[in-house]
Amino acid sequence: MTVQQQNNARERVSIVPYTPEYKQAFHDLNMAWLEKYFTVEPVHRHALENPESEILKGGGEIFFAIRDGKALGTVAMRAAGNGVFELTKLGVDPSAQGFGLGYLLCEAVIDVFKAKKGTRLYLETHTKLKPAMRLYEKLNFKLMPKPEDAHYQGTDCYMIWSPDQ
| pLDDT tens digit sequence for 121-151 | 999 999 999 999 999 999 999 999 887 777 6
- pLDDT mean across residues, the chain: 92
> In CATH terms, is domain 3-120 a member of 3.40.630.30?
yes
Burial 59-90 (b: 16+ CB within 10 A, else e): ebbbbbbbbeeebbbbbbbbbbeeeebbbbbb
Would you say residue 113 has pLDDT above 80? yes
Confidence label for 165 from pLDDT (cuts 50, 70 and 90)? very low
- Give the H/E segment covering residue 85: strand 84-92
Between CA 9 and CA 60 the distance in angstroms is 28
Structure confidence by residue, pLDDT tens digits, 26-63: 999 999 999 999 989 899 999 999 999 999 999 999 99
pLDDT band at 114 (very low <50, low <70, confident <90, very high): very high
pLDDT digits (tens, 9 = 90+) for 57-108: 999 999 999 999 999 999 999 999 999 999 999 999 999 999 999 999 999 9
- Residues ≥6 apart with Cβ < 8 Å to 104: 10, 13, 15, 65
Strands (E), 93-140: 120-125
Query: Quick check: 6 pLDDT over 60?
Result: no
Tell me which of 122 and 9 has the higher pLDDT.
122
